[in-house]
């Protein structure tokens, strides 16, 4: 498998774990607020292959504890379980980021017990899901299946939403809350603009609005927290 990027050390991407983050190319969605759009549209070439990455991990034993796998959408790659096994066999813990659109492969990985933590994006309320994903249609049953797999399984997890002023309002967080009611934890991440974001004219919600959204979500998921908000 080809890897399209690596962050060699982070304390943020894998909760409670000093890790590196690897980026895989390709995604089902075209979210207008995406920070990694060059991974999605194919403009970023691979930077290393799987064997090179495993050698990197071997050289960092004692410095790193885990690997966070993100994208793009990692679960688009059918050979992802093989990469995860190789990482685990090298002695590292694994965290997986996903948009939840590939429940069959997610189920296989969860059943095998080869990832320790999963972070799944909840893009928006059902009515605005496709709009927020930048596509014409989203099969929400696939999203709901992935939610159910995480909430009923043994693997630690979180749900998270990147909140964009132009895409989210209070009613959306009522409907999101209903989708993930009783979840272990839920994070609201405040959108920040960057040069790599594909579309302009998107803005972050005010701090007051972020806190209001979190208060709404807490009625459904008591362990709701904010990220990117001072």
pLDDT at 37: 74
Q: Is 1 a residue whose pLDDT tops 60?
A: yes
Q: What percent of the chain has pLDDT over 70?
A: 95
Q: Rg of the chain's alpha carbons, rounded to an integer?
A: 17
Domain ranges of the chain: 2-227
Contact predicate 83/1, CB 8 Å? yes
DSSP secondary structure code for residue 204 in this structure: P
The pTM (predicted TM-score) of the whole model is 0.94
pLDDT digits (tens, 9 = 90+) for 124-143: 999 999 999 999 999 999 99
Q: Determine the CATH number of domain 2-227.
A: 3.20.20.70
Burial class (CB in 10 A: 0-12, 13-18, 19+), 168: buried
Tokens of 120: 């799944």
The length of the chain, given as a count of residues: 230
Lowest model confidence (mean pLDDT) among 28-37, 75-84, 125-134: 28-37
């Amino acid at each position: 498998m080809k890897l399209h990027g690596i962050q060699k050390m982070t304390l943020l991407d894998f909760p409670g774990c000093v890790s590196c983050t690897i980026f895989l190319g390709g995604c089902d969605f075209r979210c207008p607020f995406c920070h990694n759009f060059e991974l999605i549209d194919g403009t970023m070439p691979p930077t290393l292959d799987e064997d090179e990455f495993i050698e990197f991990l071997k050289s960092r034993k004692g410095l790193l504890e885990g690997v966070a796998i993100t994208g793009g959408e990692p679960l688009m790659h059918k050979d992802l379980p093989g990469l995860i096994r190789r990482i685990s066999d090298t002695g590292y813990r694994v965290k997986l980021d996903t948009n939840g659109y590939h429940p069959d492969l997610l189920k296989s990985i969860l059943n095998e017990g080869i990832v320790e933590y999963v972070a799944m994006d909840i893009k928006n309320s059902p009515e605005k899901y496709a709009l927020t994903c930048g596509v014409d249609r989203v099969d929400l049953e696939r999203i709901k299946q992935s939610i159910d797999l995480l909430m009923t399984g043994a693997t630690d997890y979180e749900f998270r939403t990147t909140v964009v002023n132009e895409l989210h309002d209070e009613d959306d967080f009522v409907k999101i809350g209903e989708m993930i009611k009783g979840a272990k934890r839920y994070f609201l991440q405040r959108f920040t603009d960057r040069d790599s974001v594909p579309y302009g004219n998107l803005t972050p919600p005010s701090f007051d609005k972020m806190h209001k959204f979190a208060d709404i979500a807490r009625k459904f998921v008591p362990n709701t927290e904010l990220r990117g908000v001072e």
